[in-house]
Amino acid sequence: MAALRGLLLLTLLQACVALELQVSPSQQVLRGSDVHLGCTFSVVDPSVKPSYFSAIWYFKGRQIVTYDNIGLSVQPRMSFNGQAAGDGDVSLNISNVAVSDDGTYTCSVIYNMERKEKDVRLRIMVSPLVTVDQVSSNGQITLLCMATGFFPPDIEIKWIKNEKVLPRSDLSEITRSEDLTYSAKGSFTFSPKEDDWNGTFFCRVRHFSLQEPLLKDLQLLHPGIHPYSNM
């Protein structure tokens, strides 16, 4: 009978806890920003004090923050307020975010016998540096548009003249650098006509980090006077 009463008491205690967890929406921020990943919890009956409480943040399969009755363990550039955790706020702050911080974070809370977890996505963005050039060979002109140092890798590069996208604007293979950013090149090769000389072409770059497309202009010069000509 005593065992039954104990089981019923434990079941009632678990039911009273009714742990609820809320996290902030996914975020898109520029590299170098300071980020607040919100995570709060509540219980139906806060008067039920936990016999065990812990808050853990996971990233890419490893614990980056651990807070429990033993203490606090936190990775560099990250901060966690243990005092606020007692009031239901187990948010994580990350300073000066890098590309390596891009990914899904999991907030996990254990309160008595209950455990809840929720994910929040953090997307890091780095704007591309765009340069343009022209190269001549065998009577043809190749317009080059180089985008470097961007993240994430999805990007669109197009050459435009007279507000029209030029056909066969080729995007080269996207390559990854040691700093985890990407580079790509958009090219357009053609045999110039008379009205092309001294005309203005535009490279248009679209990327997640840009609020609007980036336009870089290039005035087509005769190969004989172009400082970068290979002829």
- Token pair 């609820």 is at which residue? 20
31 located within any domain: yes
Q: Report the CATH number at residue 146.
A: 2.60.40.10
What is this structure's pTM? 0.81
Q: Based on the domain organization, do 77 and 112 belong to the same domain?
A: yes
Number of domains present in the structure of the chain:
2
Q: Are residues 144 and 78 in the same domain?
A: no
Q: Answer yes or no: is 5 within a domain.
A: no
Instruction: Please identify, among 86, 109, 125, the residue that sits at the C-terminal boundary of a domain.
Output: 125
Residues whose CB falls within 8 Å of the CB of residue 170, separated by 6 or more in sequence, listed in order: 186, 187, 188
**Residues 55 and 86 grouped into a single domain:** yes
Asked whether residue 228 is domain-assigned, the answer is no
Name the phi and psi angles at 10, rounded to 5: -65, -40
Give yes or no: residues 32 and 115 share one domain: yes
Q: Tokens for 201?
A: 């072409």
Whether residue 8 is contained in a domain is answered as no
pLDDT score at 85:
94
What pLDDT is recorded for position 198? 76
Q: Rounded to whole angstroms, what are the CA distances from 96 to 76, 100, 158, 173?
A: 11, 11, 32, 30
Long-range contacts of 177-183 (CB under 8 A, 24+ apart): 177/149, 179/99, 179/149, 180/99, 180/100, 180/151, 181/99, 181/126, 181/148, 181/149, 181/150, 181/151, 182/149, 182/150, 182/151, 182/152, 182/153, 182/155, 183/146, 183/147, 183/148, 183/149, 183/150
The SS3 call for residue 136 is: strand
Pairing mode, strands 62-67 and 72-74: antiparallel
pLDDT tens across the length of the chain (231 residues): 444 334 333 444 444 568 999 999 999 999 999 999 999 999 887 776 788 899 999 999 999 999 998 999 999 999 999 999 989 999 999 999 999 999 999 999 999 989 999 999 999 999 999 999 999 888 899 999 999 999 999 999 999 998 889 887 778 889 999 999 999 999 999 888 887 787 889 999 999 999 999 999 998 877 665 444 333
